Amino acid sequence: MLSLFDKGPPPSCPAQFNLAAYALRHASETPNKTALELIGGSHHDIWNFHRLEQAVLATGAGLLDRGLRPGDLVLLRLGHSIDFPLSFLGAIAVGLVPVPCAAQLTEIEIAKLILDLAPAAIIYDPEIGCFATERAANTACQIIDLAALRDMRQGPPASYLRGDPNRLAYIIYTSGSSGTPRAVMHAHRTIWARRMMGADWADIHRTDRLLHAGAFNWTYTLGTGLLDPWRCGATSVISATPGEFNNLPQLLNRHEITIFAAVPAVFRKILADQTTLELPKLRHALSAGEKMPDTLQNAWRGATGCPVYEAYGMSECSTFISASPSHPARPGAVGLPQTGRRVAIVDNDGPVAIGTQGMIAISRHDQGLMLGYRHAKQALGRLVDGEWFVTGDQGIMDRDGQIEYCGRADDIMTAGGYRVSPLEVEAALRLYPNIGDIAVTEVEVRPHVSVIAAFYTGSVDLDHDAVNRFVKNRLARYKQPRLYVHISRLPTGPNNKILRHKLRDYYKASV
Does the pLDDT value for residue 342 go beyond 90?
yes
In a domain, 98, yes or no: no
Bridge pairing between strands 438-446 and 142-145? unpaired
Mean of pLDDT values over 310-335: 95
The pLDDT value given to residue 188: 99
Q: Is 455 a member of any domain?
A: yes
Q: Is residue 436 part of a domain?
A: yes
Domain containing residue 441 = 411-510
Query: Among 349, 342, 325, which Cα is nearest to 397's?
Result: 342
The dihedral formed by the CA atoms of 445, 446, 449 and 451, expressed in degrees to the nearest 10: 0
Element containing residue 484 per DSSP (H, E): strand 483-486
Task: Tell me what pLDDT residue 227 has.
Answer: 98
Q: According to DSSP H, which parts of 202-293 are helical?
A: 219-220, 228-231, 248-254, 264-273
What's the burial of 449, exposed, middle or buried (CB within 10 Å: 0-12/13-18/19+)?
exposed
Mean pLDDT confidence for 370-383: 84
Asked if the model's pLDDT at residue 155 lies above 50, the reply is yes
Contact (Cβ atoms closer than 8 angstroms) between residue 412 and residue 420: yes
Ranking 24-28, 354-358, 447-451, 464-468 by mean pLDDT, the lowest is 447-451
* Residue 455: pLDDT over 80: yes
Give a yes or no: residue 494 inside a domain. Answer: yes
The rounded radius of gyration (Å) of the Cα atoms in the chain is 23
Residue 450 in any domain: the answer is yes
Instruction: Give backbone dihedrals phi and psi of 78, rounded to 5 degrees, phi first.
Output: -125, 150
pLDDT reported for residue 177: 46
Pairing of the two strands 383-384 and 388-397: antiparallel
Q: What is the pLDDT of residue 407?
A: 82
Least-confidence region, from 74-78, 129-133, 181-185, 271-275: 129-133
Helix, strand, or coil (residue 182):
coil
Q: Domain with 448 in it: what CATH number?
A: 3.30.300.30
> Which DSSP letter does residue 41 get?
S
**% of the chain surpassing 70 pLDDT:** 95
Whether the predicted pLDDT of 221 surpasses 80? yes
Report yes or no: 293 and 268 within 8 Å, Cβ to Cβ: no
Q: How many angstroms separate the CA atoms of 311 and 335, rounded?
A: 7
Q: Is the pLDDT of residue 167 over 60?
A: yes
HSE, side-chain direction, 13 A CA sphere, residue 298: 9
Considering the domain boundaries, does residue 486 fall inside one? Answer: yes
pLDDT for the residue numbered 178? 47
CA 168 to CA 166: how far, in whole Å? Answer: 7
Q: Return the HEC string of 399-416.
A: CCCCEEEEEECCCCEEEC
What is residue 228's three-state secondary structure?
A: helix
Residue 479 belongs to some domain of the structure? yes
The letter for the amino acid at 344 is: A
Q: Binning pLDDT at 50, 70 and 90, where does residue 157 land? A: very high
Q: Is the pLDDT of residue 341 over 60?
A: yes
Domain assignment present for 441: yes
- 377's CB contacts (< 8 A; 6+ apart) are none
Q: What is the pLDDT of residue 104?
A: 73
CA dist., res. 237 & res. 255, Å (int): 9
Q: What's the mean pLDDT when you consider all of the chain? A: 91
pLDDT over threshold 80, residue 410? no
Domain count, the chain: 1
Contact (Cβ atoms closer than 8 angstroms) between residue 271 and residue 300? yes
The residues pairing with 381 across neighbouring beta strands, listed in sequence order, are: none
Dmax (CA) for the chain in angstroms is 71
